[in-house]
Amino acid sequence: MNIQITTTEDGSHTLYNKTLGEHYHSTFGAIQESQHIFIEAGLNALEKKSGSINILEIGFGTGLNALLTYQELMKKTYKINYVAIEPFMLDKSIYIQLNYADLLKSKTLQDIFIKIHETPCNVPHFISDSFILNKIEGKLQELELSENAFDLVYFDAFSPEIQPELWDADIFKAIYASMKNNSILTTYSAKGIVKRALKSAGFEIENLPGPIGKRQITRARKAILMSDCHHHLTK
């Protein structure tokens, strides 16, 4: 793979895909970006705070979102089922160099990070008693997602300029169908074309302030009102 490790402004690593000319994270800071968009605006914005939370990640990449989710879980009492889709799993020679757990100053997280990467694909595995991970090796657009399954979606594909086929209304419709009522999807893109595609799939859109270096991000909510349910039932 044509991949190079680079350091972002908060000191955390990211990867640069030379063929695509695209970084895996914001060069203003990989950890601060992921923490802001996926943990604060996603996981910590869920109303559900007990039982099991089912998360779908589009683009597992470095495993940073999974690691930060695990770190957050250590402070919580719920359990997480984490499904992550990725067609290009990283070589060990790359992921062992990534400095996330060092910066998070945790030996536990270092062990977890390695375990997250070494866990085989396409089967759910217990990373701990409360964190089950299923990495799916494949392309989002070629997979069939379970319906009504997820509480939270981390949409972290490469940008709409690089991968327009993933930021498409039909893909968002399939993701919408895979989500439960009152669930959320968070993503770093605030492009008009993305928001329009999300809306046409049925989502309600919120514009939120972005992390350092980015004005806005998008949170999309699947919220079916009870009156809509009634309407469907009586139609």
Ligand X SMILES: C[S@@+](CC[C@H](N)C(=O)[O-])C[C@H]1O[C@@H](n2cnc3c(N)ncnc32)[C@H](O)[C@@H]1O
Going by C-alpha positions, the residue among 56, 45, 116 that lies closest to residue 82 is 56
Q: Is residue 158 near ligand X by the rule CB under 6 A?
A: yes
Going by C-alpha positions, the residue among 43, 39, 36 that lies closest to residue 150 is 43
- Among residues 18, 139, 196, 230, which is the contact residue for ligand X, using CB under 6 A? 139
Cα–Cα distance measured from residue 13 to residue 21, given in angstroms and rounded to the nearest whole number:
16
Rounded least distance, CB 226 to ligand X, Å:
34
Please identify, among the stretches 46-54, 80-88, 200-208, 222-230, the one whose residues bind ligand X according to the rule CB under 6 A: 80-88
Residue 4: which residues within 8 A CB-CB, separation 6 or more? 15, 16, 18
Cα–Cα distance measured from residue 86 to residue 43, given in angstroms and rounded to the nearest whole number:
20
Rounded least distance, CB 65 to ligand X, Å:
5
- Among residues 85, 112, 198, 220, which is the contact residue for ligand X, using CB under 6 A? 85
CB count, 10 Å around CB of 169? 16
Cα–Cα distance measured from residue 149 to residue 194, given in angstroms and rounded to the nearest whole number:
23
Please identify, among the stretches 43-51, 121-129, 134-142, 201-209, the one whose residues bind ligand X according to the rule CB under 6 A: 134-142
Rounded least distance, CB 175 to ligand X, Å:
12
- Among residues 9, 11, 49, 88, which is the contact residue for ligand X, using CB under 6 A? 88
Rounded least distance, CB 103 to ligand X, Å:
14
Q: Is residue 62 near ligand X by the rule CB under 6 A?
A: yes
Residue type, 93: S
Residue 84 contacts residue 136 (beta carbons within 8 Å): yes
Strand-pair category, 52-58 with 79-86:
parallel
Cα–Cα distance measured from residue 93 to residue 222, given in angstroms and rounded to the nearest whole number:
39
Q: Is residue 31 near ligand X by the rule CB under 6 A?
A: no
The residue whose Cβ lies closest to ligand X is 61
Closest CB to ligand X among residues 165, 204: 165
Q: Is residue 65 near ligand X by the rule CB under 6 A?
A: yes
Closest CB to ligand X among residues 131, 232: 131
List residues near ligand X by CB under 6 A.
24, 34, 58-62, 64-65, 85-88, 139-141, 156-158, 166
